[in-house]
Structure 1
C-alpha cells in the first residue's frame, strides 16, 4: 500500500478514532496522542493492512485496545477529565439544564463496564452497524445488542431517578 492509498483509506477514519479514544480516555490531549500513535502504527504496518477484511474495523480495534492499555498503565492516574466541548445556547436556563444532563450522562457512562461503554460509543455516537461492532470487539451481534440494551437501560434508569419527572 503506497502513501496515497494509505491516506485515502486511513485518514478519513481519524475523527472516528479520536471520538472513540476520547470516550475511553476522556482527555482530549490523551485521545489526540492515542490517535497519532495508532496512525503511526498503521503506517508502519501498511503493507499488511490489505489482509484484513476491514481496515476500519482493524483501526477501531487497535484504538480501543491501545486506549484500554493506556488506562491500565501507570500513566492512567495522570489522565484529565475534561468535558468542555459543548456549544453554548442563548437561553442560560436551558444551557445549565442541558449541561447538567450531558454531564450526568457522561458521569453515568463512566460507571458502566468497559464493554458497555465501548458498545454505546460505537453504536450511538459512531453509528456503526451491529455486525461491524461485533467484528471490532470480537464478539457476536447478540452479545453486542445485550450490552447496548443494558447500557441504555442503566443510563435511562439513573436519569429517571435523578429527574423523576414521571417518565415511566
Structure 2
C-alpha cells in the first residue's frame, strides 16, 4: 500500500480515533500520542489492512485496545466522557452556564460507570456507531451491547434525577 493510499484510508477515521482516545485517556496529549501510535501500528500492518471487512471498525478497535492497555499499564481507571461540541452563539450566558453544569454532572456520572458501559456509551451515544459496528469493535454480541447501553443510560438518568431532586418512580 502506498503512502497516499494509506492517508486516504486513515483520514476519515483519525478524528474518531482521537475522540475515543480522549474519552478514555482524558488528557489531550495522551490522546494525541495514542492516535499517533495506533496510526503507526496500522501503517506497520498496511499490507494486511485490506483483509479486514470493515477497516474503520478495525481502526477504532485497535484504538480502544491501545487506550485500555495504556490505562491498565498506568493502573488508571478514571475514564471520562467529555463532550464539548455544543458551542452556540445563540445561547444566553445563563443558558450556557446551565448547559455547562449539566455536562459536568453527566461527565461525573459517566466517570462512575463500569469501563465496558463507558466504552459502549461513548461509541453509541457520542460517536453514533451502529450496534453491528460496536459488536465488531468490542467483540460482544448485539443483545449484550443493548443491555449494557440500557444499563448505562438508566444509571445516568437515575443519577441526574437525584441531582435535580426528583424521585425515581
Does TM, scored on the shorter chain, surpass 0.5? yes
The answer to whether the Cα contact below 8 Å between 1:26 and 1:81 also exists between their aligned partners in 2 is yes
User: Secondary structure of 2:140's match?
Assistant: coil
**1:10 deviation in Å?**
1.3
- Residue matched to 2:140: 139
Residue 97, structure 1, aligned to residue 98, structure 2: yes
How many residue pairs were aligned? Answer: 167
User: Secondary structure of 1:7's match?
Assistant: helix
- Residue matched to 1:6: 6
Residue 67, structure 1, aligned to residue 31, structure 2: no
**1:81 deviation in Å?**
7.7
Alpha-carbon distance in 1 for matches of 2:120, 2:84: 22
Alpha-carbon distance in 2 for matches of 1:109, 1:53: 32
Residue 48, structure 1, aligned to residue 48, structure 2: yes
- Residue matched to 2:149: 148
Gaps of at least 5 residues in structure 1 are: none
The answer to whether the Cα contact below 8 Å between 1:27 and 1:80 also exists between their aligned partners in 2 is no
The answer to whether the Cα contact below 8 Å between 2:81 and 2:111 also exists between their aligned partners in 1 is no
User: Secondary structure of 2:47's match?
Assistant: helix
- Residue matched to 1:111: 112
**1:164 deviation in Å?**
2.6
Cα deviation 1:20-51 (Å, max 9, x = unaligned): 11111111111111111111111111011111
Gaps of at least 5 residues in structure 2 are: none
Structure (1 or 2) with the greater helix fraction: 1
**1:91 deviation in Å?**
2.3
Alpha-carbon distance in 2 for matches of 1:153, 1:25: 24
The answer to whether the Cα contact below 8 Å between 1:28 and 1:82 also exists between their aligned partners in 2 is no
Alpha-carbon distance in 1 for matches of 2:124, 2:83: 23
Structure 1's 84 and 117: CA in aligned 2 closer, same or farther, altered over 3 A?
closer
Alpha-carbon distance in 2 for matches of 1:154, 1:167: 11
TM-score, length of structure 1 as denominator length: 0.89
